[in-house]
Amino acid sequence: MMNFRVSPMPSQEIPVFSSTDFRSAMRNVPGAVSIVTTGARPGRHGLTLTAGCSVSTEPSSVLVCVNKSAGAHDTIKQSGSFCWNILTADHAALAQKFAGQDGSKGDIRFSEGLWRELATGAPSLVEAICSFDCRVSGSHDAGSHTIFVGEVVAQATNADREPLVYVKGEFTVPKRQ
């Protein structure tokens, strides 16, 4: 059995940091680039994000963190569903479009890419590495964002594609050795 000795910390104040400092630090954390979609024509909404992950295999579930100011936020709440689409290396322009870089909002963002419906009616990107069509099973307030937990009711996979990653403020593709 190993024994660890912990020395008491000297009494000092914890340094204060700003949300700008936090954002700057988080830019160093690589994340898979995805588009979360919701709604039906003509009220479809979607946004680019890197804050999503698997939660459980039984039942199969994922979570996505959506800014409360995003157009898709209230539609996810109202519809009770979303689709989490993991983007390929070829989707940088689409990711920028859904991030609002071109000023587009709402249904017009779906003018590029090939979209279909799986089970819930939320748009699923045909060329995505994988798409998880979800019914909202829970939501949690988290400051400027809501964490939506979705039970996966359908999925589509294109496993042979390379992923798009966001790190240090830009899109990139992981290098293979």
Q: What DSSP string runs through 130-162?
A: EEEEEEEEEEEEETTEEEEEEEEEEEEE-TTSP
Give the span between the Cα atoms of 91 and 130, in whole angstroms.
13
The answer on pLDDT for 175 being more than 90 is no
Beta-ladder partners of 67: 145
Q: What DSSP string runs through 8-54?
A: PPP--PPPP--HHHHHHHHTTS-EE-EEEEE--TTS-EEEEES-EEE
121-170 tens-digit pLDDT:
999 999 999 999 999 999 999 999 999 999 999 999 998 899 999 999 88
Beta-ladder partners of 93: none
* SS3 (DSSP) at 58: coil
Give the span between the Cα atoms of 60 and 44, in whole angstroms.
25
Q: Which structural domains are found in the chain, ordered by start?
A: 33-172 (2.30.110.10)
Q: What pTM, to 2 d.p., does this model score?
A: 0.87
Residue 127's pLDDT is 97
